[in-house]
Amino acid sequence: MMWKGRFSEQTAELVVKYTESISYDRRLYAYDIAGSIAHARAQVGAGTLSPDEFELIEAGLLSIKESIEAGEFTWSKELEDVHMNIESELTKRIGPVGAKLHAARSRNDQVATDTRLYTREACEVILDEIRNLQTALVEKATEYQDVVMPGYTHLQRGQPVSMAHHLLAYVEMLDRDAQRLEQAKTRLNVSPLGSGALAGSTICLDREQVAHELGFDSVSQNSMDAIADRDYILEVLFDISLIGAHLSRLSEDLILWSSAEFGFVVLADAHTTGSSLMPQKKNPDIAEITRGKTGRLYGSLISVLTAVKGLPLTYNRDLQEDKEPLFDAVDTIVMALAVNAEQMRGMTVMKERCLIAASDSMLLATDLADYLVREGVAFRDAHEIVGSAVAIAIEQGVELSSLPQSTWAELHPVLDRDLSFIFNLKAALEARDNPGAPAPKQVAIQLARWQEVLSE
C-alpha cells in the first residue's frame, strides 16, 4: 500500500469541491506572500534557512506575486487554499528549498495572519470612504445652510430645524462609526505568527521581528487564543453593520424627501432610474438598494457569530466560513459609502418646498409652552393649555397662529396679547442657541468645525 503521510488514498473529488476555499481566499495572496517573506527572514535568524536560501525564497515569492497580478497564475482547487497554492508553486519554481518555508508555522497561524492583514487594510479603505461621505454631507449642508425644514418624530412634524442641522446628524453618526473602526484596527493589529498549529513550535523564531516587518503593533500572548480568535473579524463586521444601519436611515430620509408627498429634494438623473411601464417615474434606486443591502451586512455578522459560537479551542474547519462574509461585507460597504457620497453631491434641495412645510405654525407649539413656562406657568399646565389650543385650531380648520386673541385669553391670561413674536420661524430657530441645537449660529460653528476636521 502506498502511503502519503497519514493517508493511504486520495481525497474524494466531491470532498475537494466541498472543502476548497481557493475560489475566494485567493484574494489574500499579497498578505500571504508578505507573511511568508517575513517568516522566511525570521528563519534565517533561527538557523533553519541560510541567507542564500532566504533570497531564493523571497525572489520566488515575489515572482509568484507578479504572475498573480498579471493574471498568469493557475489556481488549483486540489491544493485547497491560497497557502498551499503559493507554496506548491514556490517549490516548482525554486526546487527543494521551497519545501523549507513552512517550518515553524501552520496554516492555522498563517491564515490568522493573512486575515488580520486584510482586515487592517480593509478598515483603512472603509475609513477613507466614510470621510468621503462625511465631506459630501458637509458640502451639501454648507450649500443649503439657510434652508429651514420640519424636524420629525414618529414621522410627524415636530419642531423646525435646518437642512444643514439634519445632514450634520449623519456626519456625527459616521464619525462614531469611524472611531469604532479605528479602535477595532488597534485591537486587530496583533501578530499571531509563531503560534503554529496551536502550541507554538520548538523552532523559536523572533516573533517581534516578524510583527515589526508586517506592521503589527505587538505579538499575541497566547498561542491557543491566537489560532482560535476571530473577534477581530466579528468586531469589524459589527462596525460595518452599524455603518449600514446609518446609511439605511439616511436612505429612508432621501426616499421620503424625494417623494411627491414631501418634495424636499430632487435626486440627480444619474443616480435614479425610471419605470419599465410608467413613463413619469424617477425612482431612488441607490437609496432603496442601500437600505436593502443593510440586511446583507447583518447576515454576514450573524453568519460568523454562528460559526464560532460552539467551537472548542483551537482551530476547527468551521473557521473557514469567516472569509466569504468578511469579503462580501467589506466590498458591499465600500461601494455603498462611495455611491452615497456621489448621490449626495448630486442632490438638489428644494428650498421653497422645505420652507412651506416648516411654516406650519404647529411646529412652534412647544415654543408657546416654553413662553408660558417663562411667565411662571408649570410646564405640565402649559403643555395642557397649548394642547387645548391645538385641538381648537384643528377643529376650526385654521393655523394655530390664526386663533383669535379672545381664544388665547380664554385659555390663559398670560396669552391675552399679540403672540406673533412666538410664531416667527426665524426667531424661533435663533432662540435654539444651546450647543448642539439648530440655531443658525450653532450650525455655522459645527460646519466650520467639520470643515476643519475633514480638511485634515
Any idea which residues carry the catalytic annotation?
154, 275
How far CA 43 is from CA of 40, 61, 194, 206, in Å, comes to: 5, 15, 11, 8
Measure the CA dihedral 241/247/249/250, to 10°. Answer: 170
Beta bridge partners of 219: 191
| Alpha-carbon 296 to chain mean position | 13
3-state DSSP assignment of residue 158 = strand
CB 284 within 8 A of CB 258: yes
Q: Is 30 exposed, middle or buried (0-12, 13-18, 19+ CB in 10 A)?
A: middle
Helix (H) or strand (E) holding 42: helix 29-46
Q: What is the largest CA-CA distance in the chain?
A: 107
Please tell me whether the peptide bond between 314 and the residue prior to it is cis, using omega within 30 degrees of 0. Answer: yes
Long-range contacts of residues 166-172, Cβ cutoff 8 Å, at least 24 apart: 166/253, 167/137, 167/138, 167/140, 167/141, 168/137, 168/138, 168/141, 168/443, 168/446, 168/447, 168/450, 170/137, 170/246, 170/249, 170/250, 171/134, 171/137, 171/138, 171/141, 171/450
Q: What are phi and psi of 159, to 5 degrees?
A: -145, 160
CB 129 within 8 A of CB 334: yes
Other C-beta atoms closer than 10 Å to the C-beta of 41 total 19
Q: How many CA atoms lie within 13 A of 141 on its CB side?
A: 28
| Alpha-carbon 137 to chain mean position | 16
CB 254 within 8 A of CB 140: no
CB 393 within 8 A of CB 370: no
Q: How many CA atoms lie within 13 A of 435 on its CB side?
A: 1
DSSP 151: E
Question: What is the per-residue burial (b if ≥16 Cβ within 10 Å, else e) of 198-235?
Answer: bebbeeebbbeebbebbebeebbeebeebbbbbebbbb
